[in-house]
Amino acid sequence: MFKNKCVLITGSAGTIGSALTHFILQNQPATIILLDNAETPLFNLEETLRLKGLKIDHIKFVLGSITNIALIEKLFSTHAIDFIFHTAAYKHVPIIERNPIPGVEVNCIGTKILSDASIKHKVKNFIFISTDKAVEPANVMGATKLLAEKYINALSEKHPESTRFITLRFGNVINSNGSVIPLFKEQLLNNGTLTITDREATRYFISLSKVIILLFESLKFAKTGDVFLFEMGESKSILEIAKETINELNFKEEKVQIETIGLRPGEKLHEDLVASDVNKEKTQHPEIYLVKEKKILSLKEITVDINILQKLANEQDTIAVVTQLKRILKTFKSRNSEFEDLD
């Protein structure tokens, strides 16, 4: 699939991006472009690849943002890209709830810039990494990812014979950067006390290796505009995850204080995998489901909406930005957030 091909990975120094990098490099690509706006993680990725003894003369390490139109245009015009794996995103719910404008700029506008460039430069495959938090979003982060999904779907409807656009949804990746398990481990090793949001809270978890396997399996049969949901199994209690982490580090459970701090801004008690008005269909792979929305916004409609959103973001008007998100996305209802008054 990747032999002698040109591959671009955005967010390449992140958890999923770096895993994709290692996998694809085993499959003899002609060129692999690793784009990230985080300097130190990108440096660390390059050093890791060097230490593995890999030839890296066909790897382009690019420091920059997906919101930089001039940079994206240069990359796309310089290289005949066959695959884009778009993993770059602002993903932390509480941070984006406090800072909606950067979330919109990266997750919505950045995705639009990349997908528009893909059509213009005839990129063959565009794989967008989304999240279960895009399902009936309760926070700005989830809403920005849902809007990005909708733009990609509208683009694929308008240009069905051009780039193959594929969206992949799944829950929390176990041990990913900034996720709950590494946080629990750090808390235990530093002060022996764990903080959890709510003893009843549950989340869906998936291993990184399973994400990579299912991602490449989906490429074997995906059609443009497809939105896939990976099999997540049963949701897991955050309290149980905390206890498992205590046991894994050989701490005695009865000696560890678990403090409940309450749900953070934008957080749900339980996540959803499929919206109430959406159908989930089986595919030829037992762990990959096709998500079918009943109504897709036209490209003209959603482009106008995003242009308004960008104008409001440029004006640094936070309330207007969130209001516009809610106007576009009828299922976006804030929880545990200052933006509940806007619903």
| CA atoms of 92 and 273, how far apart (whole Å) | 18
Alpha helices in the chain (DSSP H): 15-25, 39-51, 69-78, 93-98, 100-103, 111-120, 140-158, 180-191, 208-218, 238-248, 299-314, 318-328
| CA atoms of 126 and 147, how far apart (whole Å) | 16
**Cα atoms in the Cβ-side hemisphere of radius 13 Å centred on 257:** 6
Given a contact cutoff of 8 angstroms between Cβ atoms, the answer to whether 246 and 194 are in contact is yes
Catalytically annotated residue among 5, 91, 133, 150 = 133
| CA atoms of 215 and 226, how far apart (whole Å) | 13
Three-state DSSP class for residue 313: helix
Residue with tokens 């990747």: 2
Is residue 133 flagged as an active site residue? Answer: yes
Report, as residue numbers or ranges, the catalytic residues. Answer: 133
